[in-house]
Structure 1
Amino acid sequence: MVSLCSDLAVTRRLKSSRRRKEADRTRRLAREIRLLTSAATGPGQFLGGQAGCLRHAVLGALRERASVFLFFALFGVFSGRLSGSDTNSTLAAWLKAQTNIQTWSAEVVQTRALKSLTQPLTATGHVWFAAPNRFHWELGNPPQTIAVRQAGQMLVIYPKLKRAEKYPLTGEQTGQWRDTLALLEAGFPRSQSELESRFRVIAQTTTNNVHEVTLQPRSPSARRLMPRIKIAFATNDCSLRATELQFADGSTLRNDFTNAVLNPKLADSTFAPELASDFKVVEPLRK
């Protein structure tokens, strides 16, 4: 009996330990994505100097990634056909319209609302996209943060700091980076039925010819990290107007797109920026 009680106690302690580790891992990942560098002023100024910037570069880049991965997910994988039952909804019409996109560019205003700040942070920039999943994202004028999706990697460039960071996009990563990729790079579904298998469509509203869809991840772990995702698009031409990520602490990251151009000619160099010889190139996730 003593042995059985002892075994049960050990089992309870192990389960409790696993739950604590899972909770700690989720909190750490949420903190990383909440810690955000200001693209408009430069990551060093927002985080308190060059040393702080370098120490927290990975954390800031993860938050940048939340925005850019959502962007290319919205465009890069909407290439499937919709079933007849899907074609009656406004959302399904937008999903179907994405099959016409080969390239796309737009001006963007990014607004970041943090509970610790009385005023939101804003930055202006530009984004270029080429199917199936290449993009070039710049914030600031002149650019303070540049993110380029290349084959097998994400390149994040800080021109003022003469620093570039490479992040792999392969399936070999583990831990927090793997979880972030799984949530943000898995790709949006190709039809309304597929979308609803991964997300709950919890709200749809139309105001001034703009349709907004609010999604909630069905996965509990994803929901703890990012409980809401909003997509807004024009009802007349199905053009993307805005995306918004809501994080577990109530902070939000919103992108509003204007002056969009559908299928412009884009040079290959748009997605292959050349770095000057004095840039420091690092791989923060390399062990």
Structure 2
Amino acid sequence: MSFSRLLRSVTGLCLVSVGVLSVFSAASHAYAADPTEAEARAALQQWMTASSKAKTVTADFEQLRNLRNVKRPLRKPGELWIVREGGKFRWQIGEPPTLIAVRGADGGMMVVNVADNEAQTWTKEVLLEKEKEGKGQGFSSMMEAMHTPTLAEFEQRFELKDWRVDASNPGFWEFDLAFRDRRTSLVVRQLQLAVNTQDGALRSMTLHMRDGSSLSTVIRSYTLNKAVPADTFKVDTAGYEVKKGE
């Protein structure tokens, strides 16, 4: 799996750590009359402030990959552990896991391909360089965003393009965001978030790619503020071929 393709999968969950998770509801909603941009930005700040209270997240999810020429989305189950302090996370997909991605407190990342007995590591510096080259799929922007509940810093990385509020539940908002980084925006057309501003829940998230594909995350169950063992972010690579990513 190429670096860009891998991060396209993983970044589908990185911003989940910005908001408290909630089980996704596919029900349709009637949207209220157009709120103003000031109201939308205030709602976005309200959501971020509420979500910042979650220090850890453990979740089961289903990843939906929609391809332009395929009628039904590709579905894969997975698990996620996040510790906000230090930006640590472990993301794995498949039952049993076939692909594992771990980010430690040092900002580096390891990806383990179980089927091929291979592991690859990237330092924080290499990840940042990949972002500059436009190969990071917005990974660094998302990981930086998870550290702050302030709208000003969030808007340094994302541009608010459009917004909607549920007429029957004014706490339910949808935001369409664009990456300010030019190279990332050449690959990712839009990041769409559906949130609950009352409790900080991220109800759904979709990355829309320039090639017409999209990647959505559906949270099936979650636990907040439960201690996550430190060894969660360690992977036993005995017997694996370990390579340094470049």
TM-score scaled by length of structure 2: 0.76
Aligned: 1:228 with 2:190? yes
Aligned: 1:202 with 2:161? yes
- Secondary structure in 2 matching 1:100: coil
For 1:252 and 1:176, how far apart are their aligned partners in 2?
20
- Residue 240 (structure 1) aligns with: 202
Instruction: Show the 5 A alignment for 1:244-259.
Output: 244-259=206-221
How much has 1:256 moved relative to structure 2?
1.5
For the aligned residue pairs, the C-alpha RMSD in angstroms reads: 2.9
For 1:239 and 1:172, how far apart are their aligned partners in 2?
28
- Secondary structure in 2 matching 1:179: coil
* 2:225 alignment partner, one of 253, 256, 263: 263
For 1:87 and 1:68, how far apart are their aligned partners in 2?
23
Gaps of 5+ in 1: 1-55, 76-84
Aligned: 1:281 with 2:242? yes
Task: Check whether the contact 1:86–1:92 (CA below 8 A) recurs between aligned residues.
Answer: no
For 2:13 and 2:197, how far apart are their aligned partners in 1?
24
For 1:270 and 1:103, how far apart are their aligned partners in 2?
12
- Secondary structure in 1 matching 2:50: helix
For 1:238 and 1:98, how far apart are their aligned partners in 2?
4
How much has 1:269 moved relative to structure 2?
0.7
The structure with the greater share of residues assigned to helix is 1
Identity %: 23
How much has 1:261 moved relative to structure 2?
1.1
How much has 1:129 moved relative to structure 2?
0.4
For 2:94 and 2:197, how far apart are their aligned partners in 1?
30
For 1:279 and 1:271, how far apart are their aligned partners in 2?
17
Q: Which has the higher contact order (CA 8 A, sep 6+)?
A: 2
- Secondary structure in 2 matching 1:250: coil
TM-score scaled by length of structure 1: 0.67
Task: Check whether the contact 2:50–2:198 (CA below 8 A) recurs between aligned residues.
Answer: no
Gaps of 5+ in 2: 20-37
Task: Check whether the contact 1:199–1:216 (CA below 8 A) recurs between aligned residues.
Answer: yes
The structure with the greater share of residues assigned to strand is 2
1:258 to 1:220, Cα distance in 2 relative to 1, 3 A:
same
- Secondary structure in 1 matching 2:115: helix
Task: Check whether the contact 2:137–2:184 (CA below 8 A) recurs between aligned residues.
Answer: no
